[in-house]
Amino acid sequence: MPNKLKIIERQNSALQELNEIATISDISPIETLRKALEIGKKYFGLEFGIVSHIVGEDYTVDVQSSPPETLFDGQPFALGSTYCKTTLEIDDVLAITDVTTSKYVGHPCHRDFNLVSYIGAPIRVNSQVYGTINFSSAQARHLEYDKIDNEFMKLLARWAGSFLERQSVLDELSLAKHQFEMIFENNASGIILIDENCQIITVNKRFCEIIGFSKTELVGHNTRIFYIDDISYETAKQKIFNTDKSSYLNLEHQLKRKDNKLIWCEFVGSQIEYKGYGNAMIWSILDVTTQKELQDRLELQATTDFLTELNNRRYFTSRLEEEVSKIKRDKNSTTSLIMFDLDKFKQINDTLGHLTGDFVLKGFANILKRNLRKTDIAGRIGGEEFAMILPNTNLKNAAILANRIREEVSNQTTKIDGININYTVSIGLTALLYDDINSDSAFARADNALYVAKANGRNRVELN
């Protein structure tokens, strides 16, 4: 009985040591297993301790605790040359006190490696056989293995299996975390995570490249740092946090880089619950400055007359249609339409050439631009014909402007290649009417007024 109590005490001490090493966080998983093997060696009084990984007929020493220059981690063996093959076949604890007096006499492990005493058990990870945990020695053990030893061996195998299982989960989590960090950090889009107060939680490398600030300069700071002004910041903030949590938000903002360069960015994001921060917002961001500039150039080309840089006929007509619709909604609104035609322009082209004619057209367009208010719209209708829309302007005030332009044209001399050119302009003027079906009606009246100005001697303003 006293011997049995000592054995149980030794077993409990060994189990306590196992529990203690399992809680140590500053040693690697391999060293944790090695310490467990050292506890097992001490308990059984044997020289070698091994955690093996077995796949098919391949036996690999995962971790070992052994005399110097005998075994090493990762050492391969043929499964058939080990006692562990029998351990897996019986799927239970295999205990050999002295192989020379057992039924395993002549076993390859004794013949090839001179191992006389052995005890081992299968390790299972996620219900699948992983390998074995085993202890052995070149000398026979002085005590016969008993049921208590077998139970302790099973406990060791379960402990090792549980440890490897936990480690497998941790490895998977670590791999998943590493993969996420790789994807997050090296994403082609800029990514930013902000809390409900627009404080920056984290950003990736691409976002820093887009905005010109380092991660240290951004994390913990407010997103106001890269907005142009308070108005644009507050507008963006309201849009972000007034959006349904289940919805994705797609926005386009102009931001200010650290070097004060303005850039256009497309934001796609949604609200998320983020531990420790409550409601947060994650954004994927693309720098669309180049595309935006290209789009603006294309839109400008689509709406602008190439020669004069005034609005082209198509865009001018669409704006006139808007004014006609406004008159129909509000009878009290007043909008005037002016049409211009350069007098005897064909003669300039025929005698001085088209390049000179183009120079004259651009000069007249510049006169119109100088006389435009912010709300006015000017366009080249075709050839030497131009037009202006004057919102919120009655015929009397429109006529004053028309005459001012006419006088400026007739009083100026255009000099080209040493040649002085004088020209005049005829002008037709009308007001948009509630009864106008569309812009064609207004164009027709202004054109009739222009015809009258031409017929009455040119260089004059006529109203219709």
Give me the active site residues, please. Answer: 384
Partners of residue 364 on adjacent β-strands: none
- Per the CB < 8 A criterion, the answer to whether 189 and 284 are in contact is yes
Partners of residue 122 on adjacent β-strands: 132
Q: Which two tokens stand for residue 364?
A: 């007249």
Q: Which two tokens stand for residue 317?
A: 């007509």
303: CB partners within 8 A, 6+ apart: 311, 312, 314, 315
- Per the CB < 8 A criterion, the answer to whether 429 and 334 are in contact is no
- The residue among 381, 354, 355 whose CA lies nearest residue 368 is 381
- Per the CB < 8 A criterion, the answer to whether 77 and 59 are in contact is yes
Burial class (CB in 10 A: 0-12, 13-18, 19+), 363: middle
How far is the C-alpha of 230 from the C-alpha of 150, rounded, in Å?
75
Q: Which two tokens stand for residue 65?
A: 């605790």
Q: Which two tokens stand for residue 379?
A: 């366009």
Cα 190 off chain centre by: 4
- Neighbouring C-beta atoms of residue 122, cutoff 10 Å: 22
How is residue 226 annotated by DSSP?
G
Tell me the CA distances in angstroms from 210 to 205, 220, 251, 252, 284, one per residue in order: 9, 18, 16, 15, 12
